[in-house]
Amino acid sequence: MILCANFKANKTRQETRAYMAVVESFVSANEIDDIVMVFPPFTALEHLSRNVLIGVQNAYPAQNGAYTGEITLEQLEEFGVKTILIGHSERRHVLGETQEHIAAKFRFFAEKGFAIIYCVGEPLEIREQGDEALMRYVDTQFVGIDCNYTDLIIAYEPVWAIGTGLTPTSDQIVDMHAALRTKTSAPLLYGGSVKVDNASSIMALENVEGVLVGSASLSANDFCEMIAQASQLKQNERENECL
């Protein structure tokens, strides 16, 4: 399983340090072999990453240059960051990133060998138009994206489920992940109102290989609990195989 904590614009450097101390010691004390990633705000980046991968929530696709307010590859390299979220719905819908810009970002960071967590997902009005419209919409989010890129992870995050407490039904997640599976062999994550109460059942669904967690990941203890659930699922699977 792959478990990602997306802090968005939350936590100071000091709070992030304290958080990382909790999660890193949990991961080593419990010999967790699932992949755990944290995406803090830029101001909390530090050049240290032990058993938890640190990624960024965004960056501008350039080595450096005149891009006021952005950060580029040069600044990421200083912190040894090699993991990036691209296409998150807040970048698309709140910050107005176009598919063209997102694809340019994807190409740039893929060329630099980054692990890319590429997010797709539909707004509610599209979901309400039925399956065909839904898939047509999600397809547009793959324009210019290389689904065969080796270091790719896809996160399906319905816009209407992000930060709302609403989650799709299990069938809706399974159907979307099955459709995504026909496009790519990359691991598929689900994101959108994942929390301690539903993480385990979501991770147990077919073609769900992890979760991208926003609000509920802000508590280090809750995030650790979700990591423990992933580990427990794997343990159960092993036991079932032995029966």
* Closest CB to ligand PGA among residues 24, 90: 90
Count other Cβ atoms within 10 Å, centred on residue 206. Answer: 11
Instruction: Decide: 86 and 57 in contact? Cβ < 8 Å.
Output: no
Q: Which of 44, 84, 162, 220 binds ligand PGA (CB under 6 A)?
A: 162
Q: How far is the CB of 196 from ligand PGA (least distance, A)?
A: 12
Region 25-84 residues binding ligand PGA, contact defined as CB under 6 A: none
Instruction: Measure the CA–CA gap between 199 and 207, rounded to whole angstroms.
Output: 14
Q: How far is the CB of 123 from ligand PGA (least distance, A)?
A: 14
Instruction: Measure the CA–CA gap between 221 and 229, rounded to whole angstroms.
Output: 12
Site size with ligand PGA, rule: CB under 6 A: 13
Q: Which of 57, 141, 215, 231 binds ligand PGA (CB under 6 A)?
A: 215
Instruction: Measure the CA–CA gap between 191 and 194, rounded to whole angstroms.
Output: 6
Pairing relationship of beta strands 188-191 and 210-213 according to DSSP bridges: parallel
* Closest CB to ligand PGA among residues 16, 215: 215
Q: Is 35 helix (H, G, I), strand (E, B) or coil?
A: strand
CA 225-202-9 angle, to 5 degrees, is 60
Q: Does 163 bind ligand PGA (CB under 6 A)?
A: yes
Instruction: Measure the CA–CA gap between 213 and 172, rounded to whole angstroms.
Output: 18
Q: How far is the CB of 40 from ligand PGA (least distance, A)?
A: 14
Per-residue contact flags (x/-) with ligand PGA for residues 169 to 208, judged by CB under 6 A: ----------------------xxxx--------------
Give the residue numbers marked as catalytic. 88, 157
Residues at the contact surface with ligand PGA, assessed by CB under 6 A: 6, 157, 162-163, 191-194, 212-216
